[in-house]
């Protein structure tokens, strides 16, 4: 029995490795990969901040001072200790800049049902050895009618490859890997979902 289980496990591992050959084509039913790409992006949240928030903070501080002054008039009349006036606007913590990786795939719906959700993976291979070096799974809510296309976008802080060749350690640019888009689940507007087994 153990020998049979071991043989089945080996068969699954071999078939799983064969299914990971680099290819740009998606084999999910009713879908066609139009294009795919990834890029590295440095984001600075401070640049996304509204410059007028400082004015809003100052206005909020002024409102708090007026409210405290109004309450203190009542407290003094009632022989209570006055409350201290707020003197500083709240300081907003700025997030430091960070690197994120953006993975994109344009998928065309060649089927007959409207697609409403896709679970997909961006898989990267070493082009010389064809060994998988990275994979990133994403979920996108979409509305792809038959005959239409949609751009899927996944964002992560993780670089494309989890395994890096020491000779290419400084190179983190698109084009250095073979890439494949694998769709794991398709949910339709009407009807049952399709799932890779």
Going by pLDDT thresholds of 50, 70 and 90, the confidence category of residue 15 is very low
Question: In this structure, are residues 99 and 157 in contact, taking their beta carbons and an 8 Å threshold?
Answer: yes
Mean pLDDT of the chain: 81
Q: How many CB atoms lie within 10 A of CB 58?
A: 11
Task: Please name the helix (run of DSSP H) or strand (run of DSSP E) that holds residue 181, with its range, or none.
Answer: strand 178-188
Q: Cα separation of 17 and 10, whole Å?
A: 11
Q: How many CB atoms lie within 10 A of CB 24?
A: 12
pLDDT in tens, 98-152: 999 999 999 999 999 999 999 999 999 988 888 999 999 999 999 999 999 999 9
10 pLDDT higher than 60 = no
pLDDT in tens, 23-45: 345 678 999 999 999 999 998 87
Question: In this structure, are residues 144 and 109 in contact, taking their beta carbons and an 8 Å threshold?
Answer: yes
């Amino acid at each position: 029995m153990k020998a049979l289980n071991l043989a089945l496990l080996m068969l699954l591992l071999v078939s799983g490795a064969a299914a990971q050959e680099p290819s740009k084509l998606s084999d999910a039913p009713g879908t066609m990969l139009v294009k795919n790409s990834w890029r590295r992006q440095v984001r600075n949240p401070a640049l996304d901040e509204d410059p007028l928030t400082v004015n809003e903070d100052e206005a909020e501080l002024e409102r708090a001072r007026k409210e405290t002054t109004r309450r203190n008039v009542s407290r003094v009349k009632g022989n209570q200790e006055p409350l201290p006036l707020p003197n500083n606007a709240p300081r907003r913590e700025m997030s430091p800049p960070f690197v994120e990786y953006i993975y994109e795939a344009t998928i065309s719906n060649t089927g007959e049902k409207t697609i409403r959700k896709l679970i997909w993976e961006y898989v990267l291979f070493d082009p010389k050895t064809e060994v998988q070096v990275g994979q990133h799974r994403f979920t996108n809510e979409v509305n792809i009618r038959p005959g239409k296309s949609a751009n899927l976008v996944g964002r992560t802080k993780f670089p494309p490859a989890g395994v890096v060749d020491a000779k290419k350690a400084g190179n983190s640019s698109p084009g250095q890997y073979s890439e494949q888009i694998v769709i794991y689940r398709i949910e339709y507007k009407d009807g049952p979902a399709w799932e890779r087994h």
